A and B are shown apart, each in its own frame.
Chain A
Amino acid sequence: MIPFWAQDATHAMALLSTLMPLVAFLAIMLGTRSKEKLSAGLSIGAVAVSFGCSFLLLFRLWNLREPLEYSTRWVALNTVEIPFGFLLDPVSLLMLCIVTLICLLVQVYSLGYMAGDPGFSRYYAFMSLFAWAMTSLVLSPTLLQLFIFWELVGLSSYLLIGFWYEKFSATQAGKKAFVMTRAGDVSFLLGLILVLVYAGNLSIVEMNSPGFAGLMPSTMVTFAALLIFGGIVGKSAQFPLLTWLPDAMEGPTPVSALLHSATMVAAGVYLFARLFPFFTLSPAAMGIILFIGTVSMLLAATMAMVARDIKQVWAYSTISQLGFMIMGLAAGGYFAGVFHLTTHAGFKALLFLCSGVLIHTFHTNDLFELAKGGVRRLKIPMVALAVAAGALAGLPPFSGFFSKEAILAVLALSSNPIWLGAGFLGAFLTAYYAFRVIFILLFPPQTATESSDQLSGLPSAPKPSHHEGSSMTLIWPLIILASFTLLLGFLQGPLENFLVKEDKHVLLSHGVLGAWLPFIALFFALAGAGLAWVEFGRQGARQVGFAERVPFFRDLFSQRWYLDHFYRFFVDRVVDRGFSRLFAQNDNRVIDGSIDAMSRGTLETSRFLAFLQSGMIQYRLLASFAVMVLLSLYFFF
């Protein structure tokens, strides 16, 4: 009954790297929930094993030419066959390494962060579930298996976002995340069924093969591509389904780090990269996707400019960067998109983990409160935060610079210059809001700092409740990720060789702007950082951004372009008070009403007839005489 059986060492390693977290999850849920240390140890051990295996796999298959596929029969129906297996190719191997690395670091970090929480074991169980779902998603050989784990990723993020279930906002955010991504998933499922109906098969390798175009008419390919992209929109929080992601901050900070870097939201972009050749079959779909990516990138960047909550800023920046990746991919830059996904996973996890240390120490999410509390004294987290912000802004020598530059290079190749312009604008805004955070934190207004120093102990100024610098489990992941962020950019060449085996020269030419492109990009980034310095950093700055000075923009941006209002309106008024009420009333009034009216009618009629049955013998006699008379009249005349 066990359909999984290792065929060779590679297969065994793939099995180990995906199944270990599941084993940990089951063990914690079934046995060790009451023993916190053991649960955490199990979970971390499991993810460490899968991390080790995935790196071994990466080295082992570094020179892989053809994708390696293992599959076993899982469900075989008359016309639908659903195998279970693994597909090992460069992009999945790379992603597997990122996922397991980030999971491992975040779980180690959580040892310190979540210490003392009543749901400690549950937390690690869900983390393991998450790791299992994500690693299996990455290695899925068919779209259907991918969909299954896609849903499980959604489920585990729901559980983790709503982890503090006694907090209303947390459960609300979890629900919102699940339902909004579910809307995307339904679209994904439809696209998947569409492909299945035409191609009869959901193998990713076949969908990506050049012969696939012959199986489906091109309009159907466009349809299917857009429907599948709907799933990506939900998962990667692109326009218009983007508002769940900032709310997802309600979960514990390590969860946010995981969610925003390598797992939940990255799954969407990963799917895009995974099916990249399939998407390129439809230029029309690619155009629409490019547009949506651009819109999300810019919208989210404007939202990030005015947010006061440190995690919110990073959340918006996630949406923005994901939009950037999708732009890169949609413009045809396969490597650029995947490379940015890789670097982004590193620096975004770093951003969140650093913010986690700050929040953990000062118990507030508000930027200005944090600054007043004196976060600048936390040396290592602040340095790491600055490194990550530099990467986010695209400053050399951090990894973000290289990947962003790769994407801009691809955009420069496209025929319409508007995309490149949007890319530059995005780079400018990104640098602005990233350094806005850094400067606010580093340079609190002078008066505030003094007053907090003098009036220490007042509740208005949050004081560090833990030892400065916190425990080593919190710090080590930061150092590792920071060095990762520093080094990864220089691995661009080898990674490109690994991911794209042929045609790499196409990507190296830089279109009209030629070799100037990196410098222009750098110029925009520096301009953004400089504007942030002028407004927030320099002595006596008012610390009010240019967007905040115009009330219209301030409201528009901080209300997320009123998208949430629209959804609230839609769910409350249209779904809840519209259809739902209509149908519930229909049940009560129309259907039940008519049935009850029928029953009442029957009762009334029988009551009327019962009146005739008075039990008086004389009425019966009279009736029988009358009948006799009538009968005799009838017979005799």
Chain B
Amino acid sequence: MPRFEIKGALSMQIELAGFPYLSAILVTCVAGLLVILLLPEERKAEIKWVSAGFSGTTLLLCLYLFFAYDKSKGGLQFVEKILWVPSLGIQYFNAVDGFSLPNLLLTGIVFFTGVLTMWQLEERVKEFFALYFLLVLGVFGLFVSMDLFFIFVWYDVSLFPMYLLIAVWGTTRKEYAAMKLTLYLLAGSALILPGMIYLYAKSGLHTFDITALMQPGTFTAAQQKFAFPLFYLGFGILAGVWPFHTWSPVGHAAAPHSVSMVHAGVLMKIGAFGVLRVAIFLCPEGWQYWSGVMAFLAAFGIIYGALAGLRQTDLKYVIGYSSVSHMGIVGLGLSTVSVEGLNGAVFQMFAHGIMTALLFSAVGYIYDRTHTKEIGELGGLSRVMPVASFYFILAALAGMGIPGLACFWGELVVFIAAFKVYPVRTVVALLALVVSALFMLRVVQRTFYGPLPEKHAQLNDVSFSLGIPRMILAGVLLLFGLFPALLFDVIETASIPFMNGLPR
């Protein structure tokens, strides 16, 4: 692959391996944002088409990356590196590996389907999609960036629009939820920043480059043990680690549908991915030291989320708690310090993202028609909207871990890996499978089965065009459920070398 360096008058060092696809994704987001801003407010249809077009382009780019990634070679690919601030050693450094590719693909899918889910939005369309693009820009940036400083910047870029998106377009207790979410996530970034500066100062390498900082021997064991919890909690708050999870059900419930999709589907993955990319990559010894605590929090979160979700009466709260439970599985996988655990965790990130996006997308349709999320006021919807119900039930089944749908594999592999290391904690977590079946089926039963309330008798089923985003998500869920090797093969290109490179 051609590698060239340009030393120009600005003394910028540029290193590229082929066409900068990763920057192209970011640029597409920015371009979409600008075009939306330039369009006049009243042209709502055009704004939606433009959004769909640009988000579709990013999806295509992600798909191309996913399939063009050379699995036999592995490692970091599509590298683009520009020395941005030489005095501080900050680089604009983008690359993908087996850990970030699934997440990138997930973001692309959820982004595109999220735009389509909001197709019937009528209120402040322009601002909504502009903020939405900004949000996703931050997410994409975080997944592709390999520079600690930029990871932090992208993290905050993705946080800022959330507040407005929830507070303006949200529903249940929206101001409260928006403020709560923002405060929690800012608390997270307040933990990440000192950790970052600490590592930067201690390394003495004068760089934020993760590939340089992760070399064994850069940090002493004591430094790693100190810095790991900072990153783990900082990013973990975003990943819904128990007991810092309460923002997530509230936030999910209040956010508009597509924001919930991005929020639960992708933003929580940012947290888990941050734990992986920053905490685990930079502090592997701290990881091994703290892994028992991580496993405990994760296992407890799994059962806790499932049980607490059992009593919720709001559809979106239920999904929010199921997210807490499922993200616990990711955490459990990460805590095992093994190849299988990492495989399962990353797979689960992807699968949970798709599944929860489908759930929110389906709930979005139902809420738009019935104007309620209260389970008690719904019922019998299978009769009037069989297709919309089908999507929800499919996603709920995936959430229960039915084989043939993607989530099963993530859970299975994580549990296999975790059982070897933490048998008791795994048994506790496994009990949650029963509870989650109970609460998912309870929701399905009360919402879609039984007699239909009078006032909902005239509702229409989801039309073909409105069903497209759900179709895509359901298809992806099935595809990776039937052929999990598609994803596992990619993840293994990263997890095996990473674990082999760990000091024993």
Seen from chain A, the residues whose Cβ lies within 8 Å of a Cβ on chain B are: 1, 73-80, 147-149, 151-152, 155, 158, 162, 165-166, 168, 171-172, 174-175, 178-179, 182-183, 185-186, 189-190, 193-194, 196-197, 571, 575-576, 579-581, 583-584, 586-587, 591-592, 595, 599
Bound-complex Cα distance A197 to B423 (A): 11
Within 8 A of A (CB), among B456-504: 483-485, 488, 492, 495-496
Answer yes or no: B180 CB below 8 A from chain A CBs: yes
Contact across chains for A182 and B437 when beta carbons are under 8 A apart? yes
- Using A77-B413, A172-B445 as known contacts, say yes or no to A165 and B307 having CB atoms under 8 A apart: no
> Which listed residue, B246, B412, B430, B431, touches A587 by the CB 8 Å rule?
B246
Q: In whole angstroms, what is the CA distance A79 to B403 when docked?
A: 20
Instruction: List 27 A-B residue pairs with CB atoms under 8 Å apart, sorted by A's residue number.
Output: A74-B485, A75-B484, A77-B339, A77-B340, A77-B488, A78-B343, A79-B340, A149-B403, A151-B403, A162-B445, A162-B449, A165-B448, A165-B450, A166-B380, A166-B383, A175-B441, A182-B437, A183-B434, A186-B431, A186-B434, A193-B415, A197-B416, A575-B435, A579-B307, A584-B310, A586-B308, A599-B179
Asked whether any CB of chain A lies closer than 8 Å to the CB of B253, the reply is: no
Q: Which 5 residue pairs across A and B have the least CB separation, nearest first? A: A148-B403, A583-B308, A165-B449, A580-B310, A171-B449
> Once the chains bind, are A580 and B311 in contact (CB under 8 Å)?
yes
Would you give the shortest CB distance from B41 to chain A, in whole angstroms? 35
Question: Once the chains are docked, how many angstroms separate the CA of A162 from the CA of B246?
Answer: 34
Q: Inside 8 A of A165's CB, which chain B residues have their CB? A: 382, 448-450
* A189 to B496 alpha-carbon distance, docked (Å): 26
Instruction: Given A74-B485, A78-B492, A171-B449, verify A576-B402 contact (CB < 8 Å).
Output: no
Interface of B is mostly: helix
Other-chain contact of B246, A80, A158, A172, A591 (Cβ < 8 Å): A591
User: Which B residues are in CB contact (< 8 Å) with A151?
Assistant: 401-403, 408
Give A178 to B427 CA distance when docked, in angstroms: 20
Residues of A close to B179: CB separation below 8 A = 599
Distance from A148 Cβ to chain B, minimum over Cβ atoms (Å):
4
Q: Is B312 an interface residue (CB 8 A)?
A: yes
Q: Does B451 contact A (CB under 8 A)?
A: yes
Q: Are A171 and B445 in contact (CB under 8 A)?
A: yes
- A580: contacting residue among B307, B413, B451, CB under 8 A: B307
B485 touches A76 (CB 8 A): yes
CB distance from A539 to the nearest CB of B (A): 47
Bound CA span A584–B343, Å = 32
User: With A165-B448, A583-B308 as given contacts, are A178 and B492 in contact (CB-CB < 8 Å)?
Assistant: no
Q: B376 in the interface, Cβ–Cβ < 8 Å?
A: no
Q: Are B449 and A189 in contact (CB under 8 A)?
A: no
Residue in chain A with minimal CB distance to B180: A595
Contact A179 B437, CB 8 Å, known A168-B450, A580-B310: yes
Nearest-neighbour CB distance to chain A for B240, whole angstroms, equals 12
For window 249-285 of B, CB contacts with A under 8 Å fall at 249
B residues near A592, Cβ cutoff 8 Å? 246
Residues in chain B near residue A182, CB distance under 8 A: 433-434, 437
Min CB gap A122→B, angstroms: 9
Check A193/B419 contact, CB under 8 A, given A182-B434, A576-B311: yes
Given A75-B409, A178-B441, A196-B416, 7 additional A-B pairs, CB 8 A: A77-B413, A148-B403, A162-B445, A166-B383, A178-B437, A197-B419, A595-B184
Shortest CB-to-CB span from A279 to chain B, Å, is: 21
Nearest chain A CB to B175 CB, angstrom units: 12
- Whether B442 sits at the interface, judged by CB under 8 Å, is yes
Q: B18 interface residue, CB < 8 Å from A? A: no
8 Å CB interface, B282-305 against A: 304
Contact A80 B340 (CB under 8 A): yes
B404 at the A interface (CB under 8 A): yes
Q: Given the complex, which residues of B lie within 8 Å of A595, measured CB to CB?
A: 180, 184, 246
Task: Give the chain A neighbours of B249 by CB distance below 8 A.
Answer: 587
**Whose C-beta in chain B lies nearest to the C-beta of A598?**
B183
Q: Is the CB of A189 within 8 A of B404?
A: no
Determine the chain B residues whose CB is within 8 A of the CB of A74 once the complex forms.
485
Cβ contacts under 8 Å, B427 to chain A = 190
Interface string of B369-404 (1 = CB under 8 A from A): 000000000001011000000000000010001111
Known A151-B402, A186-B431; judge A193-B246 contact (CB<8 A).
Answer: no
- Is A78 within 8 A of B496, CB to CB? yes
Max chain A Cβ within 10 angstroms of own Cβ: one of B304, B382, B437: B437
- For A584, list chain B residues within 8 Å (CB): 308, 310-312
CA distance A183 to B339 in the complex (A): 29
Chain A contacts for B304, CB-based, 8 A: 583
Q: Which residues of chain A are within 8 angstroms of B193 by Cβ–Cβ distance?
A: none
Contact B403 A152 (CB under 8 A): yes
A575-B310 in contact given A78-B340, A166-B383, A171-B450 (Cβ < 8 Å): yes
- Chain B residue with the shortest CB-CB distance to A33: B386
Indicate the member of B308, B402, B409, B448 with the most A CB atoms within 10 Å: B308
The residue among A75, A571, A595 with the most chain B CB atoms within 10 A of its own CB is A75
**How far apart are the CA atoms of A148 and B409 in the complex, in Å?**
10
Tell whether B453 is near chain A: CB-to-CB under 8 Å: no
Give the CA-CA distance A387 to B353 in the complex, in Å: 55
> B390 — nearest CB in chain A belongs to which residue?
A29
Contacts of A193 in B (CB 8 A): 415-416, 419
Chain B residues with Cβ below 8 Å from A580 are: 307-308, 310-311
Give the distance in Å from the alpha carbon of A396 to the alpha carbon of B437 in the complex.
45
CB pair A197 B420 closer than 8 Å: yes
CB-based nearest B residue for A164: B449
Check: B168 CB closer than 8 A to any chain A CB: no
- Distance in Å from the Cβ of A367 to the closest Cβ of chain B? 29
B37 at the interface (CB under 8 A from A): no
Contact in complex: A75, B485 (CB < 8 Å): yes
* Contact residues in B for A152 (Cβ distance below 8 Å): 402-404
Q: Is the CB of B485 within 8 A of A80?
A: no
Contact present for B438 and A179 (CB under 8 Å) = yes
Specify which chain B residues have a CB less than 8 angstroms from the CB of A185 in the assembled complex: 433
- Is B243 interfacial (CB-CB < 8 Å)? yes
Nearest B residue (CB) for A78: B339
Q: Which residues of A contact B416 (CB under 8 A)?
A: 80, 193, 196-197
Q: For the complex, give the distance between the alpha carbons of A73 and B484 in Å.
A: 12
Q: Which residue of B lies closest to A150 (CB)?
A: B403
Report B350 CB to chain A, min CB distance, Å.
Answer: 15
A168 to B183, alpha carbons, bound, how many Å?
Answer: 43
Given the complex, which residues of B lie within 8 Å of A571, measured CB to CB? Answer: 438
| Cross-chain contact of B308 among A1, A168, A183, A587 (Cβ < 8 A) | A587
Q: What is the distance, in angstroms, from B409's C-beta to the closest C-beta of chain A?
A: 7
Contact yes or no, A166 B450, CB < 8 A: yes
A20-B45 Cα distance, complex, nearest whole Å: 45
Residues of A near B430 (CB, < 8 A) are: 186, 189-190
Q: Within the complex, what minimum Cβ distance (angstroms) separates B274 from chain A?
A: 22
- Give B202 Cβ to nearest chain A Cβ, in Å: 31
Chain B hits for A196, CB < 8 A: 416
Q: How far is the CB of A258 from chain B (nearest CB, A)?
A: 20
CA distance in complex: A76, B483 (Å): 11
Chain B residue nearest in CB terms to A76: B485
Residues in A whose Cβ lies below 8 Å from that of B438:
175, 179, 571, 575
Give chain B nearest CB distance to A170 CB in angstroms.
8
Which residues on B sit within 8 Å (CB–CB) of A172?
Answer: 445
